[in-house]
Amino acid sequence: MSAFSIAFYFTPMKHAIQFDNLEKSFGSLPVLQGISGYVDAGEVLSIIGSSGCGKSTLLRCLNRLETVDRGKIVISDLEISKPQLSSRELKEVRSRIGMVFQQFNLFPHLSVLENLTLAPQQVLKISRSESKERAKYYLQEVGLADKAEMYPEQLSGGQRQRVAIARSLCMEPQIMLFDEPTSALDPELVGEVLAVMRRLAEEGMTMVVVTHEIQFARDVANRVMFLDQGRVVEEGLAREVLTNPNSDRLHTFLSRMR
C-alpha cells in the first residue's frame, strides 16, 4: 500500500453536515433534546414530524440563525456550533448554506432580477454584470427566464417560491435547506416547486428538506428523519421508512397525512 492509499484508507469520509447530540431550549421549553444525524454530499435528507416538534429550529441551527445550547454541528470541516464564530466564519456559513422558507421573503420593492443580484453583489462582491448573468442562469433553471423584470406581487405563489430558490442558488451554496417550501401554496402550485426541487436533487445538490409532502420525500429523499418532541424517533432510507414505519408514532403520523 502506498502512503497515499493508506492515508486515503484511514481518513473517514467527511459528511457534508454532521450534527451530534443537539440540545436547544427556548426558556424552559426543551425543543431539541439530543438530536444527531448527518447529510452526505449529493444526498437529500427529509425531516418530517408534527407541528412544533422542532423541525424549523433544527434547520435554523444548521445555518446558525439559532445557536444550540449543547452539541456539535460541523459543515464539511467548519464547526459552526462554537459559541463564537468570527465574522469570516459566519460569512462562510452564510455562503455555503442556502435556505428557502415557507414565506418566500422576497423584497417587494425590487424586481425579480434585483432580488437575485443583491446578495451576490453585496456579500460575494461579484460584479454587476456577472451577478446578472448568474441571475439569468438560475432563473432559467427554475423555469422563469421571462420574469426577470417582474415584481414579486405580479407573480403567483409558486413562481415566487421558485424565484426564492433561484435567489438562494445565485449564492452558489454547497447545501440547500428548505423549510416547508410548499406549505403556504395553493395546492395547484405545489407541483411546480417540487419539480424544481426534484431537479436540483437530481443535479446532485446536497439538500435538507422539511416537508409534509410524504410522496415527495419517499421519491426524492435518500434518507428521512422523523422527529417527535425534539427527538429522532425513526431514521433511515426514505423509501423503506415511509413505506414500512417501525414505530407506532410514525405509523400514526403517516396515516394522518393521507
Beta carbon of residue 190, minimum distance to Mg ion (angstroms, whole number): 17
Q: CB under 5 A: which stretch of 52-60, 197-205, 213-221, 245-253 binds Mg ion?
A: 52-60
CA distance linking residue 184 with residue 100, whole number of Å:
12
Pattern of binders to ligand ADP over 19-58, x per CB under 6 A? -------x--x-x-----------------x-xxxxxxx-
Residue nearest to Mg ion according to CB distances in the complex: 56
Which partner from the list Mg ion, ligand ADP, none does 96 bind, CB cut-off 5 to 8 Å by kind? none
Q: Does 68 bind ligand ADP (CB under 6 A)?
A: no
Which partner from the list Mg ion, ligand ADP, none does 44 bind, CB cut-off 5 to 8 Å by kind? none
Q: Does 56 bind Mg ion (CB under 5 A)?
A: yes
How would DSSP label each residue in 91-134?
HHHHHHEEEE-SS----TTS-HHHHHHHHHHHTS---HHHHHHH
DSSP for residue 247: S
CA distance linking residue 5 with residue 206, whole number of Å:
27
Q: Does 182 bind Mg ion (CB under 5 A)?
A: no
Convert 73-86 to b/e letters by CB count within 10 Å (16 or more is b). bbbeeeebbeeebe
Contact, 112 vs 120, CB < 8 A?
no
Which partner from the list Mg ion, ligand ADP, none does 31 bind, CB cut-off 5 to 8 Å by kind? ligand ADP
Q: Does 217 bind ligand ADP (CB under 6 A)?
A: no
The H-or-E segment that residue 161 falls in is helix 157-169
Classify 73 as helix, strand or coil: strand
Which partner from the list ligand ADP, Mg ion, none does 57 bind, CB cut-off 5 to 8 Å by kind? ligand ADP
The C-alpha cell that represents 204 in the structure block: 446532485
- Nearest CB to Mg ion, comparing residues 56 and 117: 56
Beta carbon of residue 136, minimum distance to ligand ADP (angstroms, whole number): 34
Question: Which residues are 17's β-sheet partners?
Answer: 39, 75
Query: Which distant-in-sequence residues (6+ apart) come within 8 Å of 149 by Cβ?
Result: 111, 112, 113
The amino acid at residue 179 is D
Q: CB under 5 A: which stretch of 27-35, 51-59, 122-130, 196-204 binds Mg ion?
A: 51-59
Question: Which has the closest alpha carbon to 30: 72, 63, 71?
Answer: 71
Which partner from the list Mg ion, ligand ADP, none does 164 bind, CB cut-off 5 to 8 Å by kind? none
The amino acid at residue 99 is M
- Nearest CB to ligand ADP, comparing residues 113 and 207: 207
Q: By CB under 6 A, name the binding residues for ligand ADP.
A: 26, 29, 31, 49, 51-57
Q: By CB under 5 A, name the binding residues for Mg ion.
A: 55-56
